[in-house]
Structure 1
C-alpha cells in the first residue's frame, strides 16, 4: 500500500502517513523560500529599478513586468514556487524521493545562483 497525504481538515495536508519528515520538508522549503523567493526576487527588483544598464534576461518575466510591473515578477516567481511545492507534495504522497526532494533543491540552487549573480551585476 502506498501512503497517501491525509487531510487534517479542508485546508491542511499532513505528511504523517508518508516516509518523509515534516521538519525536513519545512527546512528544505524555508531554504528555497530564502534563496529563490526572497534573494532572487529582491536582487532582481533592485536591478530592474536601479540599474540603467541591466535588464531582465528572461523573456517571460520581462513580458510580465511590462504588463503588470513588479507585481508580474513576483506573481511568476511565486507561481513557480507553488507548482514546485505541489510537485513535492505529490512526490511525498507517492513515496517518490526524487519528486519530493528535487523541487526545493532545484529552487534553492537556482535562487542562490541568481541571487549571487544579480548581486555581482549590481556591484559591477
Structure 2
C-alpha cells in the first residue's frame, strides 16, 4: 500500500475511539507524568541520580531535550508497532505497546513522586 492507508485504522477491526483512549493514557503516564517527574528529580534532588543508563546519557549529552527526544522516539516507535499490528489484525501486538507504556509510565511516575517527597 503506497497511499499511506497502512498507517490508519481504516479497514481494521479496531475502533478509533478506543485507540485514542489507549494512546491518551500511554501519553499521559509515560509521555507526561514520567517526563515531568524525571525533570523535577534531575533539577531538584541532590541525592537521586537517574537509574536508566540510556536516559542518563541522553540527559548528560542533550539536557532536557535529550530526555524528551528519547521518550518521543519510544512513543512513536510503539505507536507505529500498534498501528501496523492493527492492519495485520493482531490484537495482542495492537494492545501491548500502549498498555505497556501506560504501566511503565504509571509506575515510574509514582516512584519518582515518592522519591521527590521522600
Q: Same fold (TM over 0.5)?
A: yes
Give 1:36 shift: 0.3
Q: Which residue number in structure 1 is paired with residue 39 of structure 2? A: 45
CA distance in 2, matches of 1:119, 1:73: 17
Match of 1:94 among 67, 70, 88: 88
Q: Which residue number in structure 2 is paired with residue 31 of structure 1? A: 25
Larger relative CO (CA 8 A, sep 6+): 1 or 2?
A: 2
> TM-score normalised to the size of structure 1?
0.90
> TM-score normalised to the size of structure 2?
0.94
Report Cα offsets for 1:60-110 as digits up to 9, x if no partner: 111111110111011001100000000001110100001100000000000
Structure 2, unaligned runs of 5 or more: none
CA distance in 2, matches of 1:63, 1:14: 34
Match of 1:116 among 87, 96, 110: 110
Question: Structure 1 residue 75 and structure 2 residue 46: aligned?
Answer: no
Give 1:22 shift: 0.5
Q: Secondary structure at the match of 2:58?
A: helix
Structure 1 residue ranges, 4+ long, deviating more than 4 angstroms after superposition:
none
> Which of the pair is proportionally richer in helix?
2
Give 1:15 shift: 1.1
